[in-house]
Each structure stands twice: as structure tokens, then as C-alpha cells.
Amino acid sequence: MNERSEPAVGLKAKTLRHPLIRKLSNFTVLSLEECDAIESATTKIAEFAAGDDVIQRGDRTGGVNLLLEGFACRYKILEDGRRQILAYLVPGDLCDLHVFLLRRMDHSIGALSRSKVATIPQSAILGFTNSYPNLTRALWWTTLLDEAITREWVVNIGQRTAYERMAHLFCELFHRLHAIGETAGKSYPLPVTQATLGDTLGLSNVHINRTLQDLRRDGLISFNNGTVTIKNLAKLEAAAFFSPDYLHLLDVTEPFA
Amino acid sequence: MNERSEPAVGLKAKTLRHPLIRKLSNFTVLSLEECDAIESATTKIAEFAAGDDVIQRGDRTGGVNLLLEGFACRYKILEDGRRQILAYLVPGDLCDLHVFLLRRMDHSIGALSRSKVATIPQSAILGFTNSYPNLTRALWWTTLLDEAITREWVVNIGQRTAYERMAHLFCELFHRLHAIGETAGKSYPLPVTQATLGDTLGLSNVHINRTLQDLRRDGLISFNNGTVTIKNLAKLEAAAFFSPDYLHLLDVTEPFA
DNA sequence: CGCCGTGTTGACTATTCTCAACCCAGGTGG
DNA sequence: CCACCTGGGTTGAGAATAGTCAACACGGCG
């Protein structure tokens, strides 16, 4: 029908429609009862424009936000204005499951593009954890996955050069988006400016610009109009010292035939 | 009796003896039954020498390791030998609760000093999650706490200068160790070399050495023989742009009277 | 038309790294 | 008991990486 990649794991048509169920299905088989519980808890849906904050540091929300469509990011800002992006969120990711257990947000979440967000009531989550051990473990698993990615970001920023670092980011996003069927061939959307990439990788916008040119010159990627195109995945991964194990994806299918 | 700081939260004498119960008590009140379950699951105890690996990348353990005494760290090594430390573990911290839900370790854990580690059987953890929702939430909470700290490390390495970065690390460890009563006045143990600090902060050992001298010269800290002494906490925290909210400590008592 | 956000470039600066040497304390073996 | 070795800490000099500042190009949009 189009060039979009198939979702990684085969699932029943019904569950596929719900991005959280699809995500959790990478970890466990949810019962029909559990699926129904999730679906009936995600009815309240809000829209955000690019740049809007979904939730801010210090907030104690009444519910947990689930990204249904669009891109968002976690970020923190230091007193003097320096900003660090901590994670990219893609459809199916939970924004602030933290708040359910930690008392308040220690960082903010902003929409990077026009986004749809469902809010699951606090009480629903509490109910899940009281009644559905399997679902609880699945939700817990998603937070462990987030943590694994954050750990790799520490390695990325701490040890890799600008060139390797940027290559690594593009690899990670490719694999994550491929797993949820949001890639189109060798391309995927990344609705950010070069300055935002700088806040992601701990580099200045000027240096981002030059490093991007280097990657393009070496035939590894291109990045235009919010779209990343991978020209040579093998070389990109080698340049990044990329190893996908930390993403804990069940499917390790070769992305390119 | 001695200079050691009091544990942050008042608890019954019995539970205080078990570091995991003490830690979880920062989040919730555990029932006697839950405490008993934890205690009877942590009988198998092993010792490690400084430098030993407690668990390695790729392992799928039969159990979850709990640090009872000593210091340890999470770390990852790139193919070409570069090493990044991802976290410091102190008594009461769980090493690899990940492995219970993620299939295998994506990083290694090494002992930084002579350490005692208890191994909780996989089956015991599974039993907890099936029978004790409150305990499950508490364990989940510990992993969210780890993640919050890891996120702050991303900010630290990505945005702060060498000087600020090192100051921030010393602040974090002071607060964490104070909360578990492992500080002695303004001092606490940190059994690492300068090269290890380099792997922690993403800096070369030479630069660590010089930055340490700067901090000492400015009267903020001293670091000798594996002991950190905070000379001026207010100035240190200001220099680091340190804000303790991300540690999600219940007690925010002033560390110095 | 003119403004603004974004991307690009050049010149210069600053931070941090690398390499190499040296010191010192502790441990080991002759 | 001493000579030696090793691991950690310290210093200097020079190089590389990345940041800052400033200017300009370009397109979208009021």
C-alpha cells in the first residue's frame, strides 16, 4: 500500500490500533481483560502544538500522559538557561508514569510537533497495579526501557565524539521508529531544528551544523525539512559504535533487505 | 556515640537493620508480612573485592543482587576501550532489578570497594509482584529513582563544565549518603581513583586532577585517600547548579546544623 | 516589503585531551 | 634491608575538539 515498514511484531488487528497495547505486547501477552482496561482508561485525549509543554517540572498531575501521535521530548533547564534534552518520545511512549510513584516531575515534557496525548487517570493506574500483576510488570518494563535508553545517552554524551554521537542518535531513532512502523523505507521524521539537536547532544548549534555536514559528506545520512534519511546504515552504525541490545527490542529483523 | 549522621527517616529498630527495607520505607510503609518476605529472600550473601564484577553485560542472572555493604558502579565499555560509569551504587541499592523484566543486562556492575551482596531469587521477586502490590510499587519506585538520577547525569555531562560537573557529583553523593547515614559529619567515603572519576564525568584523568585542584583551591572540597570532605556545601551547591529535587528524598533536613 | 527563524560560514577563543615525564608510597622479592 | 616495581597522583607543553561571536543567505509569512 505504501512504503511504511510493517510493525515489528505480529498482533491481532484490534490491539494494533492502540499504541500502548502494541508497545506492551513487545514484553508480554496481555489478556483481553487487561486490553479492555487500558482502552477504557485512555478516552480523554488532548492535542498539543509544537513547542507546547505537555507537563512541567514540579507538576503533580492527576493522570499519566500517553503519547498517541507526534513527537515529544523530556528536557531540563538550568538556572542560567542551558537546556538538555533527556529523551525523545514517540507514539506509544508514556510521558510521566514517574509521577504515579515519584511525587512530582523533576523535568518537563514538550511537544516537538503537533501531538495527540491521552491522559490516563491516576486512579486507573493504581487500579492496574492492584488488580493486574502482569500489566503492572509490563508498565514497569516500559520504565526500565526508558532507563536503558537514558543510560546509553550518558555513554553517548560522555564518551563519544560529536561525529559518533550524532551518528548514534540517528541509529537509535531509526531502530525505535522502525519497531513501531513509523519509518518510510530508509527515512523517518525528526521534527527538530539543529539547535534542538544541539541541546540533545550537548553541542553548540554551530558544531551541530558542521558535524551534520561531515555525516552528509561521508554518505551516511541526510537531514532536511525534519526528515532523516539513512544512506548507509552499516557504516552509520559502525561509526557510532552502535549496538542495539540496549533497546531490548524483541524483533531484531534486519531493517534493510 | 560517634559522628555518623542519623538515618533520615525514623523506623523501627528491626527494619533498620535491613538496607532494602530502609530504602523502600522512604516510599511507603511496608507491612510486617512484606518485611518478612524481603528478609527471608535475602539470605544468600556473597562478598566481592574491589574491582570484581558483580554482574556482566549479557548476563541473564538467576537472581537480583542487592548491595548490602560497600560501593559499586554500573558501567559500559565501548569496543575501543572507552569506559563510562553510569551510576554509583550504595548500600540498599538493587544492582540489577532490570534483569527481572528486561531479558539480559545491557551493562556491567563492578565493586568499587570490598562489598557484601545479597542475591534475591528470581522466583521471590516474581512472587512479590504477584502477591504484594504495595511492595511491587515500592520496588518499581526504586527503579524510577535510579532513572531520575541517570537523567540528571545526562544534564551534568551534557551541559555543565568540568568544574560544575565535579561539584555536582560531590553534592549528589553527599545527599545520597547522608540519607542512609553513611556520612561522617561533612565527610564521606568515595573509594575511587581520579581515573575512575574521569570515567564517571566524561573527562580525562589529567583534567580531573586539575579540576580537583581548582575545587580545593576555592575551598569547596577536599578528596584524599578515598574520602571526600565538603568544606562549604552552600558554595559547592551553588557552583554546581545543584537542586536536590531529582533525588526525591522525603527528608529534606538541613545536612549541617 | 521587511521581519524572523533557521541554516551556513569564517575567524578567533576556550576548554579539554594527549603525551610524556616525574614523584611518591606501598608492596614484593632477592 | 634494600632494590625494584607498580599504581596513582602531578605537572608542562602542545594539539585537537568544540564554543563564541558575528555576518550573511534564504524562505515563509504578516
H, E, C per residue of chain B: CCCECCCCCCCCHHHHCCHHHHHHCCCCCCCHHHHHHHHHHCCCEEEECCCCEEECCCCCCCEEEEEEECCEEEEEECCCCCEEEEEEECCCCECCCHHHHCCCCCCEEEECCCEEEEEEEHHHHHHHHHHCHHHHHHHHHHHHHHHHHHHHHHHHHHHCCHHHHHHHHHHHHHHHHHHCCCCECCEEECCCCHHHHHHHHCCCHHHHHHHHHHHHHCCCEEEECCEEEECCHHHHHHHHCCCHHHHCCCCCCCCCC
pLDDT at A251: 42
Q: What's the number of domains chain B is made of? A: 2
pLDDT at B254: 34
pLDDT at B16: 65
Q: Are the Cβ atoms of B155 and A248 closer than 8 angstroms?
A: no
Strand C nucleotides where any atom sits below 7 Å of a protein CB: 5-11, 15-20
Q: Are the Cβ atoms of A136 and B129 closer than 8 angstroms?
A: yes
How many beta-carbon pairs below 8 A join chains A and B? 137
Burial A146-170 (b: 16+ CB within 10 A, else e): bbbbbbbbbbbbbbbebbbbbbbbb
Give the integer Cα–Cα distance in Å for A34 and A210.
49
Q: What is the CATH number of the domain that holds A87?
A: 2.60.120.10
Do residue B22 and residue B147 come from a single domain? yes
Q: Which residues of B touch A169 (CB under 8 A)?
A: none
Q: Are the Cβ atoms of B151 and A241 closer than 8 angstroms?
A: no
pLDDT at B99: 87
What single-letter amino acid sits at B181?
G
The answer on pLDDT for B252 being more than 60 is no
Do residue A170 and residue A148 come from a single domain? no
The answer on pLDDT for A73 being more than 50 is yes
Q: Is B241 left (phi over 0), alpha (psi -120 to 50) or beta?
A: left
Q: Is residue A255 part of a domain?
A: no
Q: Are the Cβ atoms of B141 and A84 closer than 8 angstroms?
A: no
Residue in B closest to A247 by C-alpha = B106
- Residues A157-178, mean pLDDT to the nearest whole number: 98
pLDDT at A14: 52
pLDDT at A201: 98
pLDDT at B61: 73
Residue in B closest to A99 by C-alpha = B144
- Residues A71-88, mean pLDDT to the nearest whole number: 97
Residue A214 neighbours by CB under 8 Å, 6+ apart: A163
Q: Are the Cβ atoms of B157 and A202 closer than 8 angstroms?
A: yes
Percentage, residues of chain B above pLDDT 90: 84
Do residue A194 and residue A137 come from a single domain? no
B155 touches A84 (CB < 8 A): yes
pLDDT at A134: 94
The answer on pLDDT for B73 being more than 50 is yes
The answer on pLDDT for A4 being more than 60 is no
Q: Is residue B122 part of a domain?
A: yes
Q: Are the Cβ atoms of A159 and B84 closer than 8 angstroms?
A: yes
Do residue B126 and residue B173 come from a single domain? no
Reported as a single tens digit per residue, the pLDDT across A101-115 is: 998 899 999 999 999
pLDDT at B13: 52
Give the predicted TM-score (pTM) of the model: 0.92
Range of the domain at A210: 160-247
Q: Are the Cβ atoms of A107 and B151 closer than 8 angstroms?
A: yes
The answer on pLDDT for B253 being more than 80 is no
- For chain B, the average pLDDT equals 91
Do residue A133 and residue A35 come from a single domain? yes
Do residue A129 and residue A43 come from a single domain? yes
Do residue B40 and residue B128 come from a single domain? yes
Give the integer Cα–Cα distance in Å for A68 and A118.
7
- Residues B23-48, mean pLDDT to the nearest whole number: 93
pLDDT at A253: 36
Residue in B closest to A146 by C-alpha = B147
Residue in B closest to A96 by C-alpha = B144
The answer on pLDDT for A242 being more than 80 is yes
- Residues B231-254, mean pLDDT to the nearest whole number: 85
Q: Is residue B2 part of a domain?
A: no
pLDDT band with cut points at 50, 70 and 90 for residue A3: very low
pLDDT at B8: 43
Q: Is residue B7 part of a domain?
A: no
pLDDT band with cut points at 50, 70 and 90 for residue B240: very high
Q: Which residues of A touch B87 (CB under 8 A)?
A: 151
Do residue A48 and residue A119 come from a single domain? yes
Report long-range pairs for B172-177 (Cβ below 8 Å, ≥24 apart).
B172/B242, B172/B247, B173/B88, B173/B228, B174/B228, B174/B230, B174/B233, B174/B255, B175/B244, B175/B247, B175/B249, B175/B255, B176/B90, B176/B247, B177/B90
Do residue A125 and residue A169 come from a single domain? no
Q: Is residue B256 part of a domain?
A: no
Domain boundary among A100, A135, A152: A152
Q: What is the CATH number of the domain that holds B223?
A: 1.10.10.10
- For chain A, the average pLDDT equals 91
B206 Cα to chain A: minimum distance (Å): 16
Percentage, residues of chain B above pLDDT 70: 91
Q: Is residue A256 part of a domain?
A: no
Do residue B170 and residue B142 come from a single domain? no
Q: Is residue B193 part of a domain?
A: yes
Of residues B98, B101, B153, nearest to A137 (C-beta): B101
pLDDT at A257: 28
Reported as a single tens digit per residue, the pLDDT across B153-174 is: 999 999 999 999 999 999 999 9
Reported as a single tens digit per residue, the pLDDT across B165-205 is: 999 999 999 999 999 999 999 999 999 999 999 999 999 99
| Residue to substitute from B96, B108, B144, B250, interface A, most A β-carbons within 10 A | B144
A80 Cα to chain B: minimum distance (Å): 9
Domain boundary among B101, B130, B152: B152
Q: Does residue A52 or residue B9 have the better pLDDT?
A: A52
Of residues B106, B136, B147, nearest to A129 (C-beta): B136
Nucleotide nearest to B204 (CA to C1'): C17
Do residue B62 and residue B142 come from a single domain? yes
Do residue A25 and residue A141 come from a single domain? yes
Q: Which residues of B touch A154 (CB under 8 A)?
A: 84, 86, 150, 153-154, 157
pLDDT band with cut points at 50, 70 and 90 for residue A238: very high
Q: Is residue A130 part of a domain?
A: yes
Q: Which residues of B touch A241 (CB under 8 A)?
A: 78-80
B134 Cα to chain A: minimum distance (Å): 8
pLDDT band with cut points at 50, 70 and 90 for residue B43: confident
